[in-house]
Structure 1
Amino acid sequence: MKLVILDRDGVINCDSDHYVKSADEFVLIEGSAEAIAKLHQAGFTVVVATNQSGLSRGLFDLDDLEAMHDKLQQAVEQAGGELAGIFYCPHGPDDDCPCRKPRAGLIDAIEAELEICAAGSPLVGDSLRDLEAGLKKGCEPILVKTGKGERTLAKLADSDNERFQNLPVFTNLQQAVLYILDQYASPDSRE
């Protein structure tokens, strides 16, 4: 089983500094559902790992979150793909939760649920905390410039962070998926 882990806000859907709080506010970035479908069709198991502190902040409830995720699942299915799971941390930054990225608890949950090792798997994110969580589990971090990606790229350029020296950076999820298919897919699954 080949695994790909995706962050949600800023990678799959448009992000907001005011939080994405409802299915109406949940707007897919153009081509993201199709990109996920391409991964699925090439034999990858695709999962989402997302911090959702808006829950603990009272900005939305579980019904709202489920409606957003239903909308995402439907869009991916309509594009011919499938998500194997959406894993989220409902806690805020001050809750000291082990599953809140940059900690690796969400990836631990993915490994346990799917009975798979995430080491060596691509993890696509738009923030430093996404990339750091992936590194803690031996994933291969990939940065997209959508969402907070440009800000993250600027932070990395201003630091001497050797962990991200050869970090693959792409315009959006569609471009990142082309790279993943080229680097990680078996030759017979590429189209």
Structure 2
Amino acid sequence: MSLLPERLIILDRDGVINQDSDAYIKSLAEWIPYPSAIDAMARLYKAGYTLAVATNQSGIARGYYDEKTLGTMHKRLQKLVSNAGGEIAHIAYCPHGPDDICHCRKPLPGLLEDIQKKLGRKTLEGSWMVGDSLRDLQAGEAVGCHSILVRTGKGQKTEAKGIGLEKAQVFDDLSAFADWLINENPVS
């Protein structure tokens, strides 16, 4: 598999891969993946893309769930993607709350820099950042990623605001983005 930056896709989790909730995703039972997203991740992997996840998880700082519970959700995600024929190279998460002083909480680029380091990449320039909120796109743009907004999760509300989306391409969901990317950028 290629390690070129443009072959790396970084995905937000809640609202992109699974259903989101204003009450937070606090348990494995509440973690409900979009079936089309799991399939899209497998298709992207099979097309030669490296997949990573960058997710804010302030519910940990708020005491709604712990890192063990989050780990259970991520193991389920990895198993579903693996069963579909794909692989997630790394999952980075920020356990901090919005008032904590950290470098990892999106829109700051710390989670993406963690992915860059874990995957041994010199740059993230030209990689893809897929999210449903402006802060996802801002984190990606800070390190040179192409911005992709999906309309799932909070994506429709983000799109309706129209602020900060000048560089973003918009797709209905992760599956529509995967279709476009695979058709537009076939492995040579």
Short-chain TM bin: over 0.9
Deviation at 1:166, TM superposition (A): 4.7
Q: Structure 1-normalised TM-score?
A: 0.92
Deviation at 1:184, TM superposition (A): 3.7
Deviation at 1:168, TM superposition (A): 1.1
Question: Equivalent residue for 2:8?
Answer: 3
Question: Equivalent residue for 1:167?
Answer: 168
Q: Does 1:134 align with 2:140?
A: yes
Question: Equivalent residue for 1:180?
Answer: 181
Deviation at 1:29, TM superposition (A): 1.0
Question: Equivalent residue for 1:149?
Answer: 155
Distance 1:3 1:60 in 2: 30
Question: Equivalent residue for 2:52?
Answer: 47
Please, which runs of 5 or more residues in structure 1 have no aligned partner?
A: none
**Number of aligned positions between the proteins:** 182
Deviations 1:20-47 (A, max 9, x none): 0111110001211110001111111100
Deviation at 1:102, TM superposition (A): 0.1
Question: Equivalent residue for 2:88?
Answer: 83
SS of the aligned residue for 2:54 comes to strand
Over the aligned positions, Cα root-mean-square deviation in angstroms equals: 1.1
Question: Equivalent residue for 2:28?
Answer: 23
- After TM superposition, the structure 1 stretch with the greater mean CA deviation from structure 2, 115-124 or 97-106, is 115-124
Asked if the contact 1:122/1:180 (under 8 Å) is kept, the reply is no
Identity of aligned residues (%): 49
Deviation at 1:178, TM superposition (A): 1.3
Question: Equivalent residue for 1:72?
Answer: 77
Distance 1:89 1:166 in 2: 25
Please, which runs of 5 or more residues in structure 2 have no aligned partner?
A: none
